[in-house]
Structure 1
């Protein structure tokens, strides 16, 4: 008896979504851990950031060990990774917690906007040899989503600040104090750097011949896989925040 062809797509779809419960459960656990650390704040949050950064660094070194042909070539790669990942971790640890939320949101909105726009519109790939799923339409979608998030955050901050004035909270005052153009452009530019961090890790994995940086997180891969886009955004946001402190 011939197989029913209608069963093939169903079975393929079932295989594709087989790990969905595991991915969702892992995501819930990750969000819960991060949320508890953020709620505790202070030293607990700093230690959480340090632990995560160290985990990312370990995965980075493991990737580099598969790429480097000798210890002599591995050394500079490890040093570069220590600076890159350590700088991002330090920036997150010292920046104010509201700014940390903005930074995390930019990365999340970039990934989400890129995913849904890329799947909906498709189109030309950015660098198919490095990351076959990344499209130009996805990049633009991620930039738009991150820009909107940045604009909403700045507008919300100015609204809260207006509530401290003599007339109380005012949406109109918040809009007058908010340069939405600058906020949206800033968010969009940071989205490009987030995607750049993603491409960098994809390039490393291609050279190392692996799919994920580790199997630490069921259904998601490793810490580096989840946080590759956060690293450059955290560094840039940290530099910008430090500049405002010096200027102030």
Structure 2
């Protein structure tokens, strides 16, 4: 038994050595492509947000439709059982559709909060995870996700929510979209940080859910439509549950 424990320790040490010998620049070699794609996506999404109204709704539901198509494709790869496929597709339609309706009706404050918290989570997790590495959260589902990355995502999302609340702390200008009930008082900024940290965890849960689907389907990405990022589902996997969580928090705050 002791020999088995020693062998396990040595295997972990060997894996750690192999990881540490890979330069940080190599571990982030896909960053230029990811940044270029992210810039294009940000311009398109920003334009839709700026135009607002019908154009914003069209953008949100177009992304939702593309996401559902990728969801259905993964389901088709996971199981050949048609009743199971139909049931899963209906569940996915509800999951993605409700999140899309929440985003379409959220108002600018909550919409940008959701988008910003998701992006902040991904960015913080990417850089801290790549820089520090360390223990994996669930290597059988998503080998690249580390506890360090999760902490980085939580810190980044908390910072984003605080900054956004401070920047947009004018309920009269914001209208009904400002529904979290957070002001710029010191105590409430701690609440804002807590909300950001919780949203980061929720985003990671959504990420793990999609990773689990891709692993079951034998796919690395949901599609290859976005260079460096995979498909639409890969980009909004964390945003979907975050939208639902923000809607729930806003509903509680109003009531």
TM-score range, shorter chain: 0.7 to 0.9
Aligned match of 1:237: 246
TM-score, normalised by the number of residues in structure 2: 0.80
Counterpart of 2:237 (choices 228, 237, 240) is 228
Root-mean-square deviation (Å): 2.5
Query: Gaps (5+ residues) in structure 1?
Result: 1-8, 164-173
Partner of 2:53: 42
Distance 2:197 2:227 in 1: 31
Match of 1:203 in 2: 212
Map of 1:6 onto structure 2: none
Instruction: Report what 2:15 is aligned to.
Output: none
TM-score normalised by structure 1 residue count = 0.82
Cα deviation, residue 243, structure 1: 4.5
Note the alpha carbon deviations across 1:23-57, whole angstroms, 9 max, x for none. Answer: 44332321221111111001110111011000000
Contact 2:124-2:153 within 8 A present in 1 as well: yes
Cα 1:23–1:42 change in 2 (3 A) is same
Equivalence map 1:64-213=2 (5 Å):
64-158=75-169, 160=170, 175-176=184-185, 179-213=188-222
Q: Is the 8 A contact 1:154 1:178 kept in 2?
A: no
Query: What's the secondary structure of 1:233's corresponding residue?
Result: helix
Unmatched tracts of structure 2, length 5 or more: 1-21, 174-182
CA separation in 1, counterparts of 2:144 and 2:68? 25
Distance 1:201 1:214 in 2: 12
Instruction: Tell me how far apart the structure 1 counterparts of residues 172 and 219 of structure 2 sit (CA, whole Å).
Output: 51
Aligned counterparts of 2:35 and 2:165: Cα–Cα separation in 1: 31
8 Å CA contact retained: 1:143, 1:188 = yes
Deviation at 1:155, TM superposition (A): 2.4
- Structure 1 position 218, deviation (Å): 2.3
- Decide which moves more: 226-235 or 67-76: 67-76
Q: Deviations over 1:46-71 (max 9, x none)?
A: 11101100000000000000011211
Q: CA deviation at 1:21?
A: 5.2
**Helix, strand or coil for the counterpart of 1:214?**
coil
Alpha-carbon distance, 1:137 to partner:
1.3
Evaluate the alpha carbon distance shift between residue 16 and residue 102 of structure 1 in structure 2; reply closer, same or farther with a 3 A threshold: closer
- How many residues align structurally? 224
Q: Distance in 2 between matches of 1:105 and 1:131?
A: 23
Q: Is the 8 A contact 2:134 2:148 kept in 1?
A: yes
Deviations for 1:217-244, whole angstroms, at most 9, x for unmatched residues? 1232100011111000011112333445
Deviations 1:48-104 (A, max 9, x none): 101100000000000000011211111110011011101110110000112111111
CA distance in 1, matches of 2:68, 2:166: 35
Contact 1:22 1:218 in 2 (8 A): yes
SS at match of 1:126: coil
Cα separation, 1, equivalents of 2:116 and 2:168: 15
**1:199 aligned counterpart, secondary structure:** helix
